[in-house]
Structure 1
Amino acid sequence: MKLSEIKNILPTLDNVEFQLENGTFVPEHFHVTEVGVVTKHFIDCGGTIRNEQVVNFQLWNANDFEHRLKPTKLLNIIKLSEEKLGVEDAEIEVEYQSETIGKYDLDFNGKTFVLRNKTTACLAQDACGVPVQKQKANVGETQTSSCCPPNSGCC
Protein backbone atom coordinates (compact mmCIF):
# COMPACT_ATOMS: atom_id res chain seq x y z
CA MET A 1 0.00 0.00 0.00
CA LYS A 2 1.26 3.45 -0.86
CA LEU A 3 1.15 6.43 1.45
CA SER A 4 -1.50 8.12 -0.72
CA GLU A 5 -3.77 5.09 -0.23
CA ILE A 6 -3.65 5.15 3.58
CA LYS A 7 -4.27 8.91 3.48
CA ASN A 8 -7.46 8.24 1.48
CA ILE A 9 -8.62 5.41 3.76
CA LEU A 10 -8.04 7.04 7.18
CA PRO A 11 -10.80 9.69 6.88
CA THR A 12 -13.36 6.91 6.31
CA LEU A 13 -12.51 5.09 9.57
CA ASP A 14 -13.67 5.52 13.16
CA ASN A 15 -10.67 3.62 14.56
CA VAL A 16 -7.23 2.59 13.36
CA GLU A 17 -6.74 -1.16 13.72
CA PHE A 18 -3.84 -3.31 12.61
CA GLN A 19 -4.01 -7.07 12.23
CA LEU A 20 -1.32 -9.62 11.46
CA GLU A 21 -1.81 -11.90 8.49
CA ASN A 22 -2.51 -14.82 10.86
CA GLY A 23 -5.55 -12.96 12.25
CA THR A 24 -3.97 -11.73 15.49
CA PHE A 25 -4.70 -8.07 16.21
CA VAL A 26 -2.08 -5.57 17.26
CA PRO A 27 -3.24 -4.48 20.75
CA GLU A 28 -5.54 -1.48 20.42
CA HIS A 29 -3.33 0.64 22.69
CA PHE A 30 -0.46 0.69 20.14
CA HIS A 31 1.44 3.84 19.24
CA VAL A 32 2.89 4.87 15.88
CA THR A 33 6.26 5.96 17.24
CA GLU A 34 7.92 6.75 13.92
CA VAL A 35 6.99 7.73 10.39
CA GLY A 36 9.96 8.15 8.14
CA VAL A 37 11.77 7.26 4.96
CA VAL A 38 14.07 4.26 4.73
CA THR A 39 16.46 4.16 1.79
CA LYS A 40 18.35 1.01 0.89
CA HIS A 41 21.28 1.32 -1.52
CA PHE A 42 22.73 -2.09 -2.36
CA ILE A 43 24.18 -4.37 -4.96
CA ASP A 44 22.51 -7.67 -5.76
CA CYS A 45 24.34 -10.94 -6.35
CA GLY A 46 24.26 -10.30 -10.11
CA GLY A 47 26.15 -7.04 -9.74
CA THR A 48 23.22 -4.66 -10.29
CA ILE A 49 23.24 -1.58 -8.06
CA ARG A 50 19.79 -0.87 -6.67
CA ASN A 51 18.03 1.80 -4.64
CA GLU A 52 14.81 1.16 -2.77
CA GLN A 53 12.84 3.64 -0.73
CA VAL A 54 9.87 2.98 1.55
CA VAL A 55 7.80 4.97 3.99
CA ASN A 56 8.32 3.35 7.38
CA PHE A 57 5.76 3.19 10.19
CA GLN A 58 6.90 1.82 13.53
CA LEU A 59 4.20 0.38 15.82
CA TRP A 60 4.86 0.03 19.53
CA ASN A 61 2.86 -1.28 22.46
CA ALA A 62 3.25 0.62 25.71
CA ASN A 63 1.69 -0.01 29.08
CA ASP A 64 -0.80 2.86 28.69
CA PHE A 65 -3.74 0.59 28.03
CA GLU A 66 -6.21 3.45 27.60
CA HIS A 67 -4.34 4.91 24.58
CA ARG A 68 -6.19 4.79 21.22
CA LEU A 69 -4.76 6.25 18.03
CA LYS A 70 -7.50 7.95 16.05
CA PRO A 71 -7.42 8.27 12.24
CA THR A 72 -7.09 12.07 12.38
CA LYS A 73 -4.06 11.81 14.68
CA LEU A 74 -2.32 9.38 12.31
CA LEU A 75 -3.15 11.65 9.36
CA ASN A 76 -1.57 14.56 11.25
CA ILE A 77 1.58 12.50 11.92
CA ILE A 78 1.78 11.62 8.21
CA LYS A 79 1.27 15.25 7.16
CA LEU A 80 3.99 16.38 9.58
CA SER A 81 6.41 13.79 8.15
CA GLU A 82 5.64 15.02 4.63
CA GLU A 83 6.27 18.65 5.63
CA LYS A 84 9.34 18.20 7.82
CA LEU A 85 11.04 15.20 6.17
CA GLY A 86 9.88 15.54 2.58
CA VAL A 87 8.24 12.10 2.70
CA GLU A 88 6.94 11.25 -0.76
CA ASP A 89 4.32 8.79 -1.96
CA ALA A 90 5.97 5.38 -1.68
CA GLU A 91 5.12 1.89 -0.49
CA ILE A 92 4.60 1.59 3.28
CA GLU A 93 6.63 -0.85 5.34
CA VAL A 94 5.56 -1.41 8.94
CA GLU A 95 7.91 -2.39 11.76
CA TYR A 96 6.23 -4.25 14.60
CA GLN A 97 7.70 -6.04 17.59
CA SER A 98 6.85 -9.70 18.04
CA GLU A 99 9.67 -12.12 18.92
CA THR A 100 11.95 -9.66 17.12
CA ILE A 101 11.32 -6.54 15.07
CA GLY A 102 9.36 -7.72 12.06
CA LYS A 103 8.94 -5.85 8.80
CA TYR A 104 5.60 -6.09 7.05
CA ASP A 105 3.90 -4.87 3.90
CA LEU A 106 0.63 -3.05 4.51
CA ASP A 107 -2.77 -3.94 3.08
CA PHE A 108 -6.38 -3.04 3.92
CA ASN A 109 -9.27 -5.51 4.09
CA GLY A 110 -12.09 -2.96 4.19
CA LYS A 111 -12.08 -2.65 7.99
CA THR A 112 -8.55 -3.11 9.32
CA PHE A 113 -5.01 -2.60 8.10
CA VAL A 114 -3.32 -5.95 7.58
CA LEU A 115 0.39 -6.51 8.18
CA ARG A 116 1.43 -8.86 5.35
CA ASN A 117 4.47 -11.05 5.88
CA LYS A 118 7.46 -10.00 3.79
CA THR A 119 9.70 -12.55 2.12
CA THR A 120 13.16 -12.47 0.65
CA ALA A 121 14.00 -13.33 -2.94
CA CYS A 122 16.95 -13.32 -5.28
CA LEU A 123 16.75 -10.28 -7.55
CA ALA A 124 19.23 -11.68 -10.08
CA GLN A 125 18.21 -15.31 -10.50
CA ASP A 126 19.49 -15.41 -14.07
CA ALA A 127 22.93 -14.21 -12.94
CA CYS A 128 23.49 -16.29 -9.83
CA GLY A 129 22.51 -19.75 -11.08
CA VAL A 130 19.27 -20.35 -9.21
CA PRO A 131 17.71 -23.33 -10.97
CA VAL A 132 14.19 -22.99 -12.31
CA GLN A 133 11.87 -24.87 -10.01
CA LYS A 134 10.40 -27.91 -11.73
CA GLN A 135 6.77 -28.80 -11.25
CA LYS A 136 6.38 -31.95 -9.16
CA ALA A 137 4.12 -34.71 -10.44
CA ASN A 138 1.93 -36.57 -7.99
CA VAL A 139 2.67 -40.27 -7.67
CA GLY A 140 -0.16 -42.29 -9.17
CA GLU A 141 -1.12 -39.73 -11.79
CA THR A 142 -1.02 -41.02 -15.33
CA GLN A 143 0.71 -38.99 -17.97
CA THR A 144 -1.59 -38.35 -20.88
CA SER A 145 0.80 -36.15 -22.86
CA SER A 146 3.80 -38.50 -22.81
CA CYS A 147 5.56 -39.64 -25.93
CA CYS A 148 5.58 -43.13 -24.45
CA PRO A 149 2.25 -44.83 -23.85
CA PRO A 150 1.84 -46.43 -20.39
CA ASN A 151 3.31 -49.97 -20.11
CA SER A 152 5.02 -49.64 -23.50
CA GLY A 153 8.47 -50.18 -22.05
CA CYS A 154 10.00 -47.26 -23.97
CA CYS A 155 10.75 -45.17 -20.85
Structure 2
Amino acid sequence: MKISEMKQSLTGLEAINFRLPNGEYLPSHFHVTEVGLVTKHFIDCGGVERKETVANFQLWEAGDYDHRLAPQKFLHILNLSEKILGRDDLDIEVEYQQDTIGKFGLTFDGQDFILTAKQTACLAQDACGIPAAQQFALPQLQVAGSCCAPGGGCC
Protein backbone atom coordinates (compact mmCIF):
# COMPACT_ATOMS: atom_id res chain seq x y z
CA MET A 1 0.00 0.00 0.00
CA LYS A 2 1.21 3.48 -0.80
CA ILE A 3 0.85 6.57 1.39
CA SER A 4 -1.75 8.10 -0.96
CA GLU A 5 -3.86 4.93 -0.72
CA MET A 6 -3.70 5.01 3.07
CA LYS A 7 -4.74 8.66 3.18
CA GLN A 8 -7.65 7.94 0.87
CA SER A 9 -8.70 4.92 2.96
CA LEU A 10 -8.57 6.92 6.21
CA THR A 11 -10.91 9.63 4.93
CA GLY A 12 -13.94 7.33 4.92
CA LEU A 13 -13.37 5.56 8.25
CA GLU A 14 -14.93 6.10 11.65
CA ALA A 15 -12.35 3.90 13.43
CA ILE A 16 -8.99 2.41 12.54
CA ASN A 17 -8.50 -1.34 12.81
CA PHE A 18 -5.34 -3.27 12.00
CA ARG A 19 -5.45 -7.02 11.50
CA LEU A 20 -2.49 -9.40 11.61
CA PRO A 21 -1.95 -12.02 8.87
CA ASN A 22 -3.46 -14.69 11.17
CA GLY A 23 -6.74 -12.71 11.40
CA GLU A 24 -6.20 -11.35 14.94
CA TYR A 25 -6.90 -7.66 15.45
CA LEU A 26 -4.40 -5.35 17.10
CA PRO A 27 -5.85 -4.01 20.34
CA SER A 28 -7.94 -0.91 19.65
CA HIS A 29 -5.74 1.11 22.01
CA PHE A 30 -2.64 0.83 19.77
CA HIS A 31 -0.41 3.84 19.21
CA VAL A 32 1.45 4.96 16.10
CA THR A 33 4.76 5.66 17.80
CA GLU A 34 6.81 6.49 14.69
CA VAL A 35 6.38 7.43 11.06
CA GLY A 36 9.75 7.39 9.39
CA LEU A 37 11.71 7.15 6.20
CA VAL A 38 13.78 3.97 5.90
CA THR A 39 16.35 3.64 3.15
CA LYS A 40 18.19 0.40 2.59
CA HIS A 41 21.28 0.65 0.39
CA PHE A 42 22.82 -2.75 -0.24
CA ILE A 43 24.55 -5.15 -2.58
CA ASP A 44 22.80 -8.40 -3.33
CA CYS A 45 24.60 -11.74 -3.46
CA GLY A 46 25.10 -11.31 -7.21
CA GLY A 47 27.01 -8.06 -6.72
CA VAL A 48 24.22 -5.72 -7.88
CA GLU A 49 23.92 -2.49 -5.91
CA ARG A 50 20.34 -1.77 -4.87
CA LYS A 51 18.46 0.86 -2.93
CA GLU A 52 14.95 0.74 -1.55
CA THR A 53 13.08 3.38 0.41
CA VAL A 54 9.82 2.92 2.33
CA ALA A 55 7.65 4.85 4.74
CA ASN A 56 7.79 2.99 8.02
CA PHE A 57 5.02 3.02 10.61
CA GLN A 58 5.67 1.60 14.04
CA LEU A 59 2.57 0.39 15.89
CA TRP A 60 2.68 -0.27 19.60
CA GLU A 61 0.23 -1.05 22.35
CA ALA A 62 0.50 -0.72 26.09
CA GLY A 63 -1.80 -0.47 29.06
CA ASP A 64 -3.37 2.78 27.87
CA TYR A 65 -6.78 1.17 27.32
CA ASP A 66 -8.60 4.49 26.86
CA HIS A 67 -6.42 5.49 23.92
CA ARG A 68 -8.10 5.41 20.49
CA LEU A 69 -6.45 6.83 17.40
CA ALA A 70 -9.08 8.52 15.23
CA PRO A 71 -8.67 8.41 11.44
CA GLN A 72 -8.48 12.23 11.34
CA LYS A 73 -5.63 12.20 13.88
CA PHE A 74 -3.75 9.60 11.83
CA LEU A 75 -4.21 11.76 8.71
CA HIS A 76 -2.80 14.68 10.68
CA ILE A 77 0.23 12.59 11.68
CA LEU A 78 0.76 11.58 8.03
CA ASN A 79 0.57 15.21 6.92
CA LEU A 80 3.09 16.22 9.61
CA SER A 81 5.41 13.42 8.49
CA GLU A 82 5.74 14.92 5.00
CA LYS A 83 8.68 17.00 6.31
CA ILE A 84 10.50 13.68 6.88
CA LEU A 85 8.99 11.52 4.12
CA GLY A 86 8.81 14.21 1.45
CA ARG A 87 5.99 14.10 -1.05
CA ASP A 88 6.99 10.81 -2.69
CA ASP A 89 4.19 8.25 -2.77
CA LEU A 90 6.17 5.58 -0.92
CA ASP A 91 5.25 2.00 -0.12
CA ILE A 92 4.39 1.49 3.54
CA GLU A 93 6.09 -1.00 5.82
CA VAL A 94 4.68 -1.58 9.30
CA GLU A 95 6.57 -2.67 12.42
CA TYR A 96 4.65 -4.28 15.26
CA GLN A 97 6.00 -5.85 18.43
CA GLN A 98 5.38 -9.58 18.79
CA ASP A 99 8.00 -12.02 20.09
CA THR A 100 10.38 -9.70 18.25
CA ILE A 101 9.71 -6.70 16.02
CA GLY A 102 7.68 -7.97 13.08
CA LYS A 103 7.86 -6.26 9.69
CA PHE A 104 4.75 -6.30 7.54
CA GLY A 105 3.38 -4.99 4.30
CA LEU A 106 -0.03 -3.31 4.34
CA THR A 107 -3.29 -3.61 2.42
CA PHE A 108 -6.83 -2.36 2.99
CA ASP A 109 -9.98 -4.46 2.53
CA GLY A 110 -12.44 -1.55 2.59
CA GLN A 111 -12.89 -1.72 6.35
CA ASP A 112 -9.66 -2.87 8.01
CA PHE A 113 -5.96 -2.37 7.38
CA ILE A 114 -4.37 -5.80 6.96
CA LEU A 115 -0.75 -6.40 7.95
CA THR A 116 0.66 -8.75 5.30
CA ALA A 117 3.54 -11.17 5.76
CA LYS A 118 6.86 -10.20 4.20
CA GLN A 119 9.28 -12.80 2.89
CA THR A 120 13.00 -12.84 2.23
CA ALA A 121 14.22 -13.76 -1.23
CA CYS A 122 17.40 -14.16 -3.21
CA LEU A 123 17.51 -11.23 -5.64
CA ALA A 124 20.25 -12.77 -7.78
CA GLN A 125 19.05 -16.34 -8.26
CA ASP A 126 20.79 -16.69 -11.61
CA ALA A 127 24.14 -15.60 -10.12
CA CYS A 128 23.69 -18.01 -7.19
CA GLY A 129 22.86 -20.99 -9.38
CA ILE A 130 19.33 -21.30 -8.08
CA PRO A 131 17.21 -22.84 -10.85
CA ALA A 132 14.32 -20.77 -12.12
CA ALA A 133 10.91 -21.97 -11.03
CA GLN A 134 9.85 -24.71 -13.35
CA GLN A 135 6.78 -23.98 -15.40
CA PHE A 136 4.44 -26.75 -16.36
CA ALA A 137 1.92 -26.46 -19.17
CA LEU A 138 -1.51 -27.63 -18.15
CA PRO A 139 -3.18 -29.89 -20.66
CA GLN A 140 -6.22 -28.55 -22.42
CA LEU A 141 -9.29 -30.15 -20.89
CA GLN A 142 -11.84 -31.47 -23.31
CA VAL A 143 -15.50 -31.76 -22.43
CA ALA A 144 -16.53 -35.35 -23.09
CA GLY A 145 -20.02 -35.62 -24.44
CA SER A 146 -22.77 -33.31 -23.32
CA CYS A 147 -22.58 -34.25 -19.63
CA CYS A 148 -21.64 -30.72 -18.53
CA ALA A 149 -23.86 -28.90 -20.99
CA PRO A 150 -26.99 -27.22 -19.66
CA GLY A 151 -29.53 -29.93 -19.10
CA GLY A 152 -26.80 -32.61 -19.38
CA GLY A 153 -27.63 -34.08 -15.98
CA CYS A 154 -24.15 -33.74 -14.38
CA CYS A 155 -25.33 -31.54 -11.50
Structure 2 contact 7–75 (Cα < 8 Å) conserved: yes
Unaligned runs of 5+ in 1: 137-143, 145-155
Q: Secondary structure of the residue that 1:46 maps to in structure 2?
A: coil
Counterpart in the other structure of 1:53: 53
Counterpart in the other structure of 1:141: none
- 1:133: how far off? 4.1
Deviations along 1:35-63, one digit per CA (max 9) or x if unpaired, are 01000000001110000000000000011
Aligned length: 137
Determine the C-alpha separation between the residues in 2 that align with 1:80 and 1:36: 11
Deviations along 1:20-78, one digit per CA (max 9) or x if unpaired, are 11100000000000001000000001110000000000000011101000001000100
Counterpart in the other structure of 1:102: 102
Determine the C-alpha separation between the residues in 2 that align with 1:85 and 1:98: 26
Identity fraction in percent: 59
- 1:86: how far off? 2.5
Counterpart in the other structure of 2:18: 18
Determine the C-alpha separation between the residues in 2 that align with 1:58 and 1:27: 14
TM-score calculated relative to the size of structure 2: 0.84
Q: Secondary structure of the residue that 2:36 maps to in structure 1?
A: strand
Counterpart in the other structure of 1:29: 29
Equivalences for 1:136-155 in 2 at 5 Å? none
Amino acid paired to 1:69: L
Structure 2 contact 36–81 (Cα < 8 Å) conserved: yes
Counterpart in the other structure of 1:78: 78
Amino acid paired to 2:64: D
Structure 1 contact 81–87 (Cα < 8 Å) conserved: no
Determine the C-alpha separation between the residues in 1 that align with 2:87 and 2:95: 17
Determine the C-alpha separation between the residues in 1 that align with 2:57 and 2:129: 35
Q: Which moved more, 1:109-118 or 1:76-85?
A: 76-85
- 1:131: how far off? 2.1
Over the aligned positions, Cα root-mean-square deviation in angstroms equals 1.6
Structure 2 contact 36–84 (Cα < 8 Å) conserved: no
Determine the C-alpha separation between the residues in 1 that align with 2:83 and 2:62: 27
TM-score calculated relative to the size of structure 1: 0.84
**1:87 and 1:62, CA in 2 relative to 1: closer, same or farther beyond 3 A?**
farther
Unaligned runs of 5+ in 2: 140-155
Structure 1 contact 107–114 (Cα < 8 Å) conserved: yes
